[in-house]
Every structure is written in structure tokens, then in C-alpha cells.
Structure 1
Amino acid sequence: MTEPQNTPLQPMPDDWRRALAVVAHPDDLEYGCSAAIAACTDGGRSVGHRPELVITMNHRDTWGGVRRVAVAGFAGPTHAEDATPGLERGVRSLLEHRTYIEALTDEDPETYARELLTKWATITGERFGGKPAVSFGLFAR
């Protein structure tokens, strides 16, 4: 069942130190949650092997030793991470796929990336206390 669009999102848990980001396509993180990952690493967390949290896009799977799976782009999100500290790095990260963006649109790639990510973060932020955010479906293991 999909969550109603006006349901407030809970903050992502902060009791983890290491995450692993797993995606199917090279630009999936940039289109989804790179700003949230940047904010987490700013807070002293790392992205590497032997994770406590797996961050992924649009699917659910199982991994041994993982306490939670956070799915960005999930149709019924339950949690969010403040994207404010990482939004600019998310834009720069997406711009690393400039050639792909140029094939998608006639718009200036930087304008496209900035407006797209800012729009998504702002819309999500309406359910997260007004702060720009990235949403996740969070699943305990």
C-alpha cells in the first residue's frame, strides 16, 4: 500500500557508522540520493564494505550482516535525510554525467541538474519539516 503524500517522513536513523550503496546504473545515486549520502559522510559516517545500512534504488534485496536497507525512489517512503548539506555536491555529482544529460535535453546541463534535484528535494521537504530532503523506504532486517 502506498503512503499518503501528506504523511510526514521520519528522520533516517543515525545509529549506524558504515553504509554500502548498491545501484544498477552508474547514475542512479546521482538521480536519487547522492545529496543524502554527502550529508551522512559530512556527519562522520562512511560508505564502504561490511555495512550496517545498505542504500539502494527501486528494489529490495537481502544482505547478510545488514541491519537496515534504505531504498531511495521507493513508492511509499517512510523516512528522509536532510539534503541541505549535500545538495550542491549532488548537483556536481550528477553533472559528471554531462554527456548523458546533453542527450536527454536541450537545457543547459547545470541548470537541468540543479533544478531537477532541487525540485525533488523541495517536494520531499514538504513532508520533512520544510527542509530539502531525500526520501527512503526503510526496511529493518
Structure 2
Amino acid sequence: MPADWQRALAVVAHPDDLEYGCAAAVAGWTDQGKEVGYLLVTRGEAGIDTLDPATCAPLREREQRESAAIVGVTSVEFLDHRDGVVEYGLGLRRDIAAAIRRHRPELVITLNHRDTWGPEPGGFWNTPDHKAVGRAVLDAAADAGNRWIFPELTEQGLDPWNGVRWVAVAGSNLPTHAVDAGPGLERATRSLRAHRTYIEALTDQDVDTYCRSFVAESTGRAAARFGGRPAVAFEVFPR
């Protein structure tokens, strides 16, 4: 995995998206003094069937901020697109490009933008939000550096940023790189556990057991290709 960078921006659709394994890499990076910011396209307000969105949104935002702090991330922003109905398009690309111009990262991180995820062959159908956000991130990384795309951003004081050198996609079925998850594994588990309200609605399992087993499984999939060590795998697109 490229290591010669100082700033990264992780852009995902929902609170908890980064905590299902990727946070282990984030913890290791912040330990090294690298800056990582989080950008959530929604507040995950449609994610808990028993909670009205107006009640759910601030709760999930609070859990996301607590979760991010565990792995050394203090910058957490929300775009307020509607959970569950995120649409790929110019508006989403513009919002993400604006954030990239604000944060000026060298590395941008997102989640799987393809139709399926999970073990091949087959796998599971990906959610519309994940597909829309992942695709928009890949496009916005270029949009951010072109002053003639979304010129209104320049008028708002957001100068073009053409410094994104890589976009790293977590959860891809076509990984090209990996990061040692060992140093951040325990904190990654705790960061997932911070989403307690969501997880309690998701599973009947004990929350601690669920989080520990899920993070161990997700980081263990790449172990065979990474010297037997737990790892966070990424499909890296250079720019």
C-alpha cells in the first residue's frame, strides 16, 4: 500500500461503513502521524427500523463521532443526503469534489462501488447508496482538480486540488494492495462496537461477540495473501 502520503479523506455512505474492517488500517495510519478525515454522505437515519429517522440521525451521528475518535480521527463531516436513496449524479459529485478541495488529501478512501460484494463466486448484492457513493468518489477525485468542472466551487473559495494520487476502495472483490491490520485490530473492534444502537437492531448476537468476530473475519480474508497476518485489503486506483 502506498505510504508516502500525509493526508487522507475517507468518503462513505453511512455511519459504520468504515468500521467493518477498514478502521484497522485507519488506526495504524493515525499512529504514524497521518491525518485522516471522514466524510459521511448520509447520517444513516433509515438504518434502524424501530427508530424514526428524526430520532435516529443524531444518534447515529453521535456514535460515528465516538467511533472515529477511537481510531484517531477527529474530523467527521456529514453531507445530509437522504439515507437509502442516494443518487449518483452531478450533485453528489459536486459535494464530494468540494470536500476534497477543502481537505486536500493525497489518498481518498471509499467502499466497493460494484454491483456485488463478499466471497466469490456470486456474493451479495450491493446497496444502491454504496454503489452511488463509490462511483461518485472515483469521479470526484478528478473533478476536484479541474477548475472548469463545477466552477462555482472556485467562486466559493475552493481552489482546485489535483493532489489526489490514489483512490483506495475497501471491500472490493479485486484487491490489489493491503495494510497490516494487526496494530489497529483491537481499536477497530472497539470502533465498530461504538455503533451499539445500530448493531443491537441488526443482530440478536451479543454486541461484543458480533464485533470481534466480524472484524476478525473481515481482516482475516486477506491473510493468506499477506503473509498470514490480518490485513485490510484495497483495490487501489492511481491517478
Same fold judged by TM-score > 0.5? yes
Same amino acid, percent of matched pairs: 64
Contact 1:80–1:135 under 8 Å retained in 2: yes
1:84 aligns with 2:182: yes
Aligned to 2:202: 104
Task: Work out the number of aligned pairs and report it.
Answer: 130
Aligned to 1:41: 30
Aligned to 1:5: none
Contact 2:109–2:167 under 8 Å retained in 1: yes
Distance 1:80 1:39 in 2: 12
Letter in 2 for 1:37: V
Aligned to 1:7: none
Distance 2:111 2:238 in 1: 16
The one of 24, 47, 54 equivalent to 2:108 is 54
Structure 1 consecutive aligned stretches of length 4 or more whose deviation exceeds 4 Å: none
Distance 2:14 2:180 in 1: 24
Aligned 1:1-141 pairs, distance under 5 A = 12-48=1-37, 49-58=103-112, 59-60=134-135, 61-62=138-139, 63=141, 64=144, 65=162, 66-141=164-239
Contact 1:32–1:57 under 8 Å retained in 2: no
Which has the higher relative contact order, 1 or 2, with Cα contacts under 8 A spaced 6 or more apart?
Answer: 1
Which secondary structure state, in structure 2, belongs to the residue aligned with residue 75 of structure 1? Answer: coil
Distance 2:207 2:184 in 1: 19
Aligned to 1:4: none
Which secondary structure state, in structure 2, belongs to the residue aligned with residue 55 of structure 1? Answer: strand
Using the size of structure 1 for normalisation, the TM-score is 0.87
Cα offset, 1:32, TM superposition: 3.6
| Unaligned stretches of 5+ residues in structure 1 | 1-11
Larger relative helix fraction: 2
Using the size of structure 2 for normalisation, the TM-score is 0.53
